[in-house]
Amino acid sequence: MISKVTIESVEKRGITELKSVFCSTPFKVVEVREDKKNPLLELMLMSSSPGVLDNDELSFDYLIAENCQVEMTTQSFQRLFTMENSAVQKTNVVVKENAFLSYLPQPTVPHKDSNFKSVNTICLEKNAAVIWGEIFTCGRKLKDEIFQFTQFQSLTKIFQEEKLVYFENLFLNPTKRNPLNIGQYEGFTHQLSLVYIDDACDVPVLKKQLDAFLEDKECTFGISETATNGLSIKILEFKAEKLLTLMKQLTQIIKNGRL
């Protein structure tokens, strides 16, 4: 199935609203903002499909207009079903001047023999900011499908004013290299990746706050400053729910610092 979602926002009197939305089967975008006076537009991507199937081609285009503030979430875990071939997902994001996007999807669960590639391209204009999250799991752990997928790849590229400032390539092929080995996940089965790029951010201060917060959470983590003004956070764990909670908590700390 070839599916496409296009979203464009607009700022009116200090409040972000949806300007236009296009969704093809099986997707739907709904506004979940309870307080309509809240400047932050909260959106949820919903799907009537149980997950990603063989030969699926998914395309997402998000345009965050000037001075807009948008937070995107997804409805449920993204399940990658058994495939004979492969599936691909492409996400293109443009965050205009003085705008902000927070993207916090539910975890990805690759089933046995799935083959999936995701490419995320994020373009930030002057004074734009982004929080981009991703939670990867080993598969259906309770069914003993631990790293039994064929291949998984997630490419994330972030540009600031047309200059590449962040590049991440998560590539796993368990048939050629066991992800549980030394130098790989070393026994861990779940990973959270969270990157925050913002020219207005006081990176040293924020890093200390996030370090102090995570040190009390009994998790294995690392926080690095990016080449530009931002932070890259990695956490290894054994449960998706814990990572999902941590991603939301970390995002709230970051957002509080932006107020």
The pair of structure tokens assigned to 33 is 């903002």
| pLDDT tens-digit map of 12-54 | 999 999 999 999 999 999 999 999 889 999 999 999 999 999 9
Model pLDDT, residue 153: 97
Model pLDDT, residue 82: 96
pTM for this one? Answer: 0.95
Which DSSP string corresponds to 145-179? Answer: -SS-SSEEEEEEEEEETTEEEEEEEEEE-TTTS-T
Which DSSP string corresponds to 47-83? Answer: ESSSSB-TT-EEEEEEEE-TT-EEEEEESS-EEE---
Model pLDDT, residue 36: 86
Model pLDDT, residue 259: 61
Model pLDDT, residue 142: 87
Closest CA to 72 of 253, 236, 258, 251: 251
Average pLDDT score, the chain: 95
Could you write out the three-class secondary structure of 206-243?
HHHHHHHHHHCCCCEEEEEECCCCEEEEEEEECCHHHH
List of the chain residues with pLDDT < 70: 259
Backbone angles phi, psi at 47, to 5 degrees: -140, 135
